Structure 1
Amino acid sequence: MENSSEVVSFVLAAYGNVGEFKYMYFVIILFWYLSICVANTVLILVIRVDRRLHEPMYLLLCNLCVNEINVSTSLYPLLLSQMFSDSHEVTLPWCFIQMSCLYTSGSVEGCSLAAMAYDRYISISHPLRYNVIMNTERVFFMILFVWIYSFLSVILSFSFIFSLEFCGSIIENVYCNHRLIIRLSCLVSVHSFLSDIFFLIVSIFIPFTLISVSYVKILAVCRKTSTENKQKAVTTCAPQIVSVSNLFVGSVFQSIDSSVIVARVHVRIILSTYLFICQPMLTPFLYGFNLPKIRQSCKKLLFKKKQ
Structure 2
Amino acid sequence: MSSEQKQIRGSNNTIYQYKESDQLGSGSFASVFKGTNNDNGQEVAIKVINRQALKKYGDEIIQAIGDEVNILQQIALMQKEDPCPFIVKIYDCFQTTNNIYIVLEYCNQGNLLNVLKQPKYSKGIPEQEAIRIFFQIVSSIYYLSKYDIVHRDIKPENIFINNGVYKLGDFGFASQKKLYQTTLGTYPYMAPEFFKEPSYDKLVDVWAVGIMYHEMLFNELYFMGTSQFDVSQKICNKAYIIKCENLISKQSQDILKRSICKDRSLRITAEQLYEHEAFSAIKKDSQILKIIQDSHLSQQNLILIG
For normalisation by structure 1, the TM-score amounts to 0.31
The structure richer in helix per residue is 1
Give the number of the structure whose alpha-carbon radius of gyration is greater. Answer: 1
For normalisation by structure 2, the TM-score amounts to 0.31
- Bigger relative CO (Cα 8 Å, ≥ 6 apart): 1
